[in-house]
Structure formats: structure tokens, C-alpha cells
Amino acid sequence: MTIGFEVYSDKEIDRALVSRYWAQDEEGKFVEKVSELLPFEGIKNISQLVSYINEISKAWDERFQCSRCEEYQVIRSRSDYLSSKGIVCRSCIQKEKEDNEERRRKEVERLNEKLDEITEKNSSLRLNYTNLKDDEVLLLLALSKSINPRLTSSTFKLSNSTGIAPADTLFFIKKLYDCGVLTHYPPHALEGAYILEDESISFYLSRVAFMLVPDVSLGRGEALFEMLRMREHKQLSRILQLWLDYAVSDCMAYLFSECSLHGLETDAEDDLKIKSILRTALETWSIAQLWSVIWKVVRDAASLSTRVYYSKAKAAATLPGKIKRYLEQQVKEGTTLKSWERPNHQPAGTLGDIFYEYFGIDEQTLGLEVMEMFSESNEEEAEWFEESVSHIMERALFLGLGARFLIDFAEHIRSGKSVVEALASLVESYPELDDAT
Ligand SMILES: [Zn+2]
């Protein structure tokens, strides 16, 4: 016998019923069919009979002890017995489930407490917008255009802001988040945006709700944007970098749509390689010329993918090399690249509109012209440079940092930085140099 049981009823007929129900022969088979026990008192079917047996008795499987509480496994029917596996008993599993639920409930409680703190802290943030860099201001103006009027009146998600550029929305939004223009507002986030790990909170930028941080004096109303629109742009090297980020995104969006047309898919590593090749090429050529290059190499890769020994993945992996070689060849031969029209399905985005509005450049503008326009030797920048240098030098002397400043400056120049880059790095390491006097 491997089944133990206990009958709570005093009636002999009940005790006999339970014994017959669980009775086994030497091989462990049940002696009688359950149907042979019927009818019993007024009970005519098996399921009623089994539930009656459970009312008046309790049975357990003596083959298995729970590995946690060491109790025998409780069985409610013959099929329970036949499917019995042991290991952990039902009540231990139930207890574990309850413990997990309790732990989870506490975690959610803790997470919510933390999120309340974050909400309060982020809602009270203020930023001095006059300290923003030119590229950050232009990007903010583009964002405001793309989600107007939501930026100033409510919160928004990453998915709402895809109109800013043809691709890389996350990159551009993160830039605004990193410089303090945007913060996040937990009550409006998507489910699963925040995770509590060892008392610290992490979050997915793709799931949080972003909120514009108000200016210290102008808040976040129209006056703030009026001030930003009126601002003079002099930090040309920063604007150039933003243009290149934008131009690369315009090329990548074209690459992705051409690839999907031919069923090709590049991986993240190849995308990085391609971006870096395009970024360099954009110093010479226009976005629209690079579209024609992309069009050609994707076509070549697609025809390669139909060959034996070539898969789509292998063919896609040849793209970075193909773009690079094709461009090198054009330089060698001195050919002018063909220029494509902007595809209808790929709008320039509000950042593209801003560049056209402020600087008159777009996908047709040659990289060489853009480089010239934003070069450090440009007059405006020289003027800005002169002003900044005298201001920074004054501050350095005032703060007694003169010697330190010169030594560090020389160090930056030796490491290959330009004069402007060296100055920018110095201001980064000594933020007090840039304070208004
Ligand atoms: Zn147990």
C-alpha cells in the first residue's frame, strides 16, 4: 500500500467506501473500478462520489514526501495519484506563490514611493535657458515644431516625436534630456517604464513620458520660445556637429527603406560603421548625392544575395565596405555624384526645416559648402571666439586659475585638439570659468 488515508466519519458505510476507493493490489493497481462503488447512498455519478470522499476523508501518497515540508503529497482522486510526481507539495507551492505575490506587492509599493519622489523632484526642476548651447537650442526649436503645442502644455513620448528627423529620434531626444531641457514625468509613463533594482530606479527612454523643464524666469510659455528664436547663433562647430548628426539620420533613413525594399537587414554593428563612413562623406558631398550612392550599393548587395553561397545577411554585411570603396573610387576618378530628389515617404523633419530656415541648407547642399559655412575661421565665430576668450581669461585670472589654465590649455593642444575644442574642454573641467560675471 502506498496510499495512506484517514476517515473523519464514524459511519461504517463511509469508512468502507473510502477503503474500497483507495484499495490497491500487490502491484499497486486499484482493486475495483470507481463505477463499481456506485450507486452510493443517493450518489449516482463519479465526480459527486469523489467530492463526497474528500468531504469525509483525507488521503496522501506515501511514495513522495515534499522536499520542503517533508509532508506526504495530498491526493484528492485516483488521477491525482497516477499523475503524482512529488518534489514540492501543493501547499508549499501555494505558499511560495503567496510569498512571491507579497514580495511583488512590496516591490510595487516601494517603486511607487520612489516614483512619487521623482515626480516631485522633476516637477520642481528649473533651467537657465540662456546657458544652453546653440545646437541644443536649435534641436529644441525643432522638437517644439514637431509636437506643437504638446511640448509646452503636456507630456509626450518618444513615439510622438518621430517628426523631428528622418531617423534616430532617440538620439536627438536623449541629447535634449542630457542637457536638462527635458525631464521625465512618471505619472504619464507607459507600463513597465521604470524598474527598481537594489533601491535604485532605472528606466527605458522609449517608455517614459517627457516633460519640458521650465526656464528660471520665463517658465515654458511662448515668451521662452520667442527668446530662443531671437537668439543669435555663434557656436558654429556645435551647429556643424548637429547638422552632421541630422544629415547622417537622413542618409540612414534612406538606407533602411532601400534595404527593406530588397529584404536586406543590416545589424547594429554595420549601422555604426556605415554612419561613420557617411559622416565623413558628408563633409564633402550632399545628403542627396549620398542617397544615390546608397541606392546603387544596396542594389548591388541585393543582386549578390541571390547568388549561391550568399545569404541576405552576408550580402547586407558587405554594405559598409561597398559604400566606402564606391566613394573612394569617385574621388579617384573625380566624378560628380548623381543627386537624388527627396523621396516622398521621407520628409526632412522639423530639424531639417530649421536648418533650411536658419542657414539655407538642405539635402542638396554640398558638404564642402556646409563645412565652409560653419568653419571655425568664419568671421562670426572669430568674433564669438574673441569675446569668449577674453571673458574666460578674465574669469581665470579672477579665480586665480591663470597658471593652471595655461598648463591645461597647452596639454589639450598637444593632444591634437583645435583651439576652440581646447577652450571648450577647459570650460568643461572648470565650469566656473563660464559663469556670468
Ligand atoms: Zn510541502
> Which residues have C-beta within 8 Å of that of residue 167, sequence separation ≥ 6?
249, 250, 252, 253, 256
Residue 4, beta-bridge partner list? 60
What is the per-residue pLDDT for 122? 96
Please give the full DSSP string across 345-406, using - where no structure is assigned: TS--HHHHHHHHHHH---TTS-HHHHHHHT-TTSHHHHHHHHHHHHHHHHHHHHTT-HHHHH
Q: How far apart are the first and last CA of the chain?
A: 94
Distance 15 CA to ligand 1 centre (A): 27
Closest CA to 177 of 210, 202, 219: 210
Residue 382 has a pLDDT of: 64
Q: 283: closest CA among 338, 331, 346?
A: 331
Q: Where are the domains of the chain?
A: 3-88, 99-230, 236-373, 381-434
Distance 21 CA to ligand 1 centre (A): 25
For the chain, percent of residues with pLDDT exceeding 90: 65
Q: How far is the CA of 87 from the centre of ligand 1 (A)?
A: 8
* Cα-to-centroid distance, 54 and ligand 1 (Å): 20
Beta bridge partners, 182, equal 212
How far does residue 60's CA lie from ligand 1's centre (Å)? 12
* pLDDT value of residue 369: 95
Sign of CA dihedral 300, 287, 251, 347: negative
CA of 26 to the centre of ligand 1 (A): 28
Could you give the 3-state DSSP secondary structure of residue 149?
coil
Blockwise average pLDDT, block size 10, the chain, 437 residues: 90 94 91 91 91 94 86 88 77 91 92 95 96 96 93 93 95 96 96 89 94 95 93 90 97 96 92 96 96 95 84 88 94 90 95 96 96 77 72 84 86 81 83 69
Taking CA atoms, 409 is separated from 377, 381, 427, in Å, by: 19, 19, 10
The residues, ordered by sequence, that sit 6+ positions from 241 with a Cβ below 8 Å of its Cβ are 135
* Chain centroid, CA 234 distance in Å: 33
Full-model pTM: 0.69
What digits encode the pLDDT tens for the residues 192-210?
Answer: 999 988 888 999 999 999 9
Spacing, Cα 298 to ligand 1 middle (Å): 62
89 CA from centroid of ligand 1 (Å)? 4
Instruction: Of 44, 42, 22, 47, give the one whose Cα is nearest residue 32.
Output: 22
Q: Length of the chain, please?
A: 437
Position 437 scores a pLDDT of 46
Q: For residue 79, report the distance from its CA to the centre of ligand 1, in Å.
A: 20
The residues whose Cβ lies within 5 A of ligand 1, an ion, are: 66, 68-69, 89, 92
For residue 149, with 0-12 CB atoms within 10 Å meaning exposed, 13-18 middle and 19 or more buried, which class applies? exposed
Q: How far apart are CA 40 and CA 127, in angstroms?
A: 82
> Ligand 1 center to residue 10 CA distance, Å?
29
Closest-CA residue to 273 (of 316, 305, 312, 241): 316
Angle (CA) 426 242 343, round 5°: 170
